Structure 1
Amino acid sequence: MKIVNDLNIRKQADELGVSIWQAPSFLFLLMGIIVVVAMTVVYFASMNYGSPEILIFSEFAVVIIIFTIGTFIIRNVEYMAAANKIKSEFISMASHQLKTPIAELSWASELLISKYKKGLGKKQLDLIGEISKANAHMSRLVGDLLDVARLDRGALLLAQDKINIVNIVKEVHEADLPLATAMGVKVDVIIPGSLPEIIADKRRIKVAIDNLISNAIKYTADGGYVEVRLEKDGDKINFCVKDNGIGIPEKQQDKVFEKFFRSDNSAKYKIEGTGLGLYIVKNYVEQSGGKIWFKSIENVGSSFCFSLPIVNKK
């Protein structure tokens, strides 16, 4: 299936935002056809003509054609790399510019609640609460965009903290309970009595855990079920989130961890998202020395798991 997708020239051109004639798969296919034709011509020329000049000319023509197409491919790759760099720089710049007004809005909201709460009515307090939630969401999105820009540049540095993952899972579960209640989804957390500490970036692993749990809740219908599980597995800790939600179409599962990926059925059920969450989670986990994997069946459910190394006591 992946080979078929790779040979889908129209699809590749659309994804890269280029014309069919600039799609790498088309150019490589064209080069292959030309090489085969040229080699065939050279072969028959050598069979029917004994003149070395004709053979030299034929081989020279083949080299020129291959060089021309190769140069065109390289220029296209350079163009796409430059465009990607500009995009990453713009995202980084825009995100940095947004941090200040978001911080000011957060400060103003907190000031209103802490200093002027007595003079505000219930409706006004509710509105400030909604502003605070929207601001927190925007702050999280800006943080994600900044990390994506750093990942694109290979400049994301993760801390190597000794952390208690049990406490983090409990904190995230508590924070996500209002979402679960609003969605009508039951969330169970299964944790053994005690687990050793792990090595990871505390803030970012907390974001990764929140991404997986909140995703499971959002992609599960009213009356659904989400199970969060922690367990020790040799020299690592496994974290898993399992749901009985909408699942991911099989034909799209190879793109799950790609940047900006949204499955077709997420649009069908009008589930909001940026398509950055799983891309970020995968990079956080792998750069922390862990592994991530998933299983999913459309209309049955999904399970996403990752493992992280425990602290070496030696």
Structure 2
Amino acid sequence: MGEARILDSLNIKKRCGAVGVGFWQCPHFLFPVTGLIIIISIIVTYLVASRVTEPEIAALIVLAVTAFLFIVGHTIVRSFENIVEASRLKSEFVSIISHELRSPLSAVKWSLDLLKSDNTRMKASDSAESVISSIGEQNEKMIRIVNGLLEVERIEEKKMSLAPEKIFLKELTEKIIGDLSLVARDLNVKADLETKTDAPVFADPQKISFVIFSILENALRYSPAGSSVKIEIYEKSGSIFWSAANTGAGIPKEDRQKIFEKFFRSRDVYRYRSGGLGIGLFLSKAFVEASGGKIGFLSEENKGSVFWFSLPRV
């Protein structure tokens, strides 16, 4: 097993093929090549320098050339590593966005076919309303996906805009709990809200609603059936805190540093079939920090997680 792993790691052609690039763009190939070039350059430099100058000077020249070549080689390899990573992210993004848009589009198509079908009797108003409601829900999902991608672009171009006003986190949370009631029911998970303060904050209601929606939806989807998500709103040190705690699987240690990164999705996304583009927490962090607040989480594997954010009290 160990020998096979070693041989596999030495198979440069296979490793380059796995990342989808040619030899001269593959970091696994460029690293040994640059190393070989540096070794040859050191030998040639030493042989030439030792003939025309003192040994001490020759040694200094060799050190200088080695340092220069090492820096250049490292820069080249790192540049191609970044290219490979960008290519991987692009492919992954296309795959994710295709999947996320295909689901609501398929649901809309099915609903429209049902409405147009001559074999189904859609005269009953409740049946027709149910289908139309389904179309509306899927349309809202697609709008959220597109709006999220547009917000990512605005953040990267430093063009994000805020429309702050006095808002109450309790009111926003109650509305979002209602919006996610069908999700909670399908997952057999409850959302319990406990409010310890009614103090307002000054922030953009749409942006903060997005933050609450993203955190709460994740908390619900990563919770075991029959459990509940505990939401708390409280005041501490002049700030209003909002938190959501669940008893799910928790976040693996290797994922914790990446949790707020753009397009990052935990390995448990397939286990819980949670879907998503991996931009909810990235945008949430940007929105909260732009509003003068903080965001973070605590997590323990097999016990659950607590996500929180705080905003200055008015």
TM-score by length of 2: 0.70
Question: In 2, distance between residues paired with 1:39 and 1:266?
Answer: 49
1:4-19 mapped onto 2 (5 Å cutoff): none
Q: CA deviation at 1:308?
A: 0.9
Which position in structure 2 is the counterpart of 1:141? Answer: 145
Count of residue pairs the alignment pairs up? 276
Listed as ranges, the gaps of 5+ residues in structure 1 are 1-7, 113-117
1:177 equivalent in alignment to 2:177: no
Q: 1:241 to 1:31 in 2, by over 3 A?
A: farther
Q: 1:40 to 1:282 in 2, by over 3 A?
A: farther
Listed as ranges, the gaps of 5+ residues in structure 2 are 1-8, 116-121
Does the residue aligned with 2:268 lie in a helix, a strand or coil? helix
Q: 1:193 to 1:69 in 2, by over 3 A?
A: closer
Question: In 1, distance between residues paired with 2:18 and 2:166?
Answer: 41
Does the residue aligned with 2:182 lie in a helix, a strand or coil? helix
Which position in structure 2 is the counterpart of 1:3? Answer: none
1:1-314 mapped onto 2 (5 Å cutoff): 51-52=53-54, 55=58, 58=62, 61-62=65-66, 65-66=69-70, 68-69=72-73, 72=76, 76=80, 121-195=125-199, 197-311=200-314
Q: CA deviation at 1:73?
A: 5.3
Q: CA deviation at 1:43?
A: 8.7
Q: CA deviation at 1:152?
A: 2.1
Q: 1:224 to 1:202 in 2, by over 3 A?
A: same
User: Residue 42 of structure 1 contacts residue 59 of structure 1 at CA under 8 Å; is this kept in 2?
Assistant: no
Q: For residues 164-220 of structure 1, what are the alpha-carbon distances to aligned partners after superposition, in whole Å with 9 as ceiling and x for unaligned?
A: 22211121122222322222112210002522x212221011011011111111111
Which position in structure 1 is the counterpart of 2:3? Answer: none
Does the residue aligned with 2:296 lie in a helix, a strand or coil? strand
User: Residue 230 of structure 1 contacts residue 240 of structure 1 at CA under 8 Å; is this kept in 2?
Assistant: yes
Q: For residues 116-144 of structure 1, what are the alpha-carbon distances to aligned partners after superposition, in whole Å with 9 as ceiling and x for unaligned?
A: xx965332221111101000111111111
Question: In 2, distance between residues paired with 1:162 and 1:25?
Answer: 54
Question: In 2, distance between residues paired with 1:33 and 1:253?
Answer: 37
Which position in structure 2 is the counterpart of 1:5? Answer: none
Q: 1:293 to 1:51 in 2, by over 3 A?
A: same
Q: 1:134 to 1:248 in 2, by over 3 A?
A: same
Query: Which deviates more, 124-133 or 28-37?
Result: 28-37
Paired residue type of 1:51: T
User: Residue 208 of structure 1 contacts residue 281 of structure 1 at CA under 8 Å; is this kept in 2?
Assistant: yes
Q: For residues 32-77 of structure 1, what are the alpha-carbon distances to aligned partners after superposition, in whole Å with 9 as ceiling and x for unaligned?
A: 998799789989998x778259738646744763575366358648
Q: CA deviation at 1:17?
A: 7.0
Paired residue type of 1:233: K
State the percentage of identical aligned residues.
Answer: 31
Question: In 1, distance between residues paired with 2:22 and 2:308?
Answer: 38
User: Residue 163 of structure 2 contacts residue 204 of structure 2 at CA under 8 Å; is this kept in 1?
Assistant: yes
Paired residue type of 2:143: S
Does the residue aligned with 2:146 lie in a helix, a strand or coil? helix
Q: CA deviation at 1:269?
A: 2.8
Question: In 2, distance between residues paired with 1:17 and 1:158?
Answer: 41
Q: 1:242 to 1:20 in 2, by over 3 A?
A: farther
Q: CA deviation at 1:21?
A: 7.0
Question: In 1, distance between residues paired with 2:230 and 2:76?
Answer: 52
CA RMSD of aligned residues (A): 4.4
Q: 1:42 to 1:303 in 2, by over 3 A?
A: same
Does the residue aligned with 2:297 lie in a helix, a strand or coil? strand
